[in-house]
Amino acid sequence: MEKERTVYNRLKSWLALKQVKNKALAEHLGVSEQTVSKWCTNYSQPSIPDLFHIAEYLNIDVAELLEPMKKK
């Protein structure tokens, strides 16, 4: 049984909504496609500066990239 992964960012959703491919974002940021893929699947997270660059590239507010915390 695979351990459930916590979702921290909504990058995959925003890339789909904006019709942007992982490759295009990777080239814009100067990172590998594998890095963007790991961000999209929440295996790893972009740095704070990268989050701001991604938001600017997608023309959205940086807060839109983050998954809201669930209230207990």
CATH number, position 44: 1.10.260.40
Q: Which residue has the tokens 């590239």?
A: 57
Q: What is the DSSP letter of 65?
A: G
pLDDT for the residue 67: 80
In a domain, 40, yes or no: yes
The domain tally of the chain equals 1
Place of tokens 């999209």: 40
Structure-model confidence comparison of residues 72 and 60, the more confident one: 60
Asked if the structure places residue 71 within a domain, the reply is no
Range of the domain at 42: 11-65
- Per-residue pLDDT tens over the stretch 10-62: 999 999 999 999 999 999 999 999 999 999 999 999 999 999 999 999 999 99
Closest to 65 in 3D by CA, of 31, 18, 5: 18
* Residue 4 placed within a domain: no
